[in-house]
Amino acid sequence: MSPFDTDIIRAKIAIIQDNLKALEPIKEMSRDEYLRDLYKRKATERLLQELIEAAIDINTQMVVGSEYAPPDDYYQSFIRAGELGFLSPSLAEKLAPSAGLRTRLVHENDRIDHSIILKAVSMAEEYYPRYVEEISAALSRKD
């Protein structure tokens, strides 16, 4: 048995997978269609936020559960997961900036740039399936 709760991690993986599936229609929308639909914009922002938060939770659970100090921040949770072999370092570096997007979505520090959100959907579709694969493989190694 691994020192971290694999049931919690698997539940978070399911959130990521569900949110990726829910985001699929968004990547097919034109920018104008996206801008005209307030509900799709808000849903997209929330789906991205939940997806990123689930990954941060997984990273932190695995790092701390492996008896290392908690990451200093959300960005570092990806970097530490890469350093400890839960993720490839290259994927960790590609995903770490999504922590900043999560912060902007939660706190709305400034107006949300819809172009950034649409790019984030493409990024999520490209990199988060790999994240799920690598985390699942790391869990298999720990069981």
State both tokens at 87: 């993720």
How far, in Å, CA of 32 to CA of 39, rounded?
14
The one catalytic residue among 107, 114, 130, 141: 107
Question: Catalytic: which of 102, 104, 114, 141?
Answer: 102
The answer to whether 22 and 42 have CB atoms below 8 angstroms apart is no
Known catalytic residue at 107: yes
Catalytic residue IDs: 102, 107
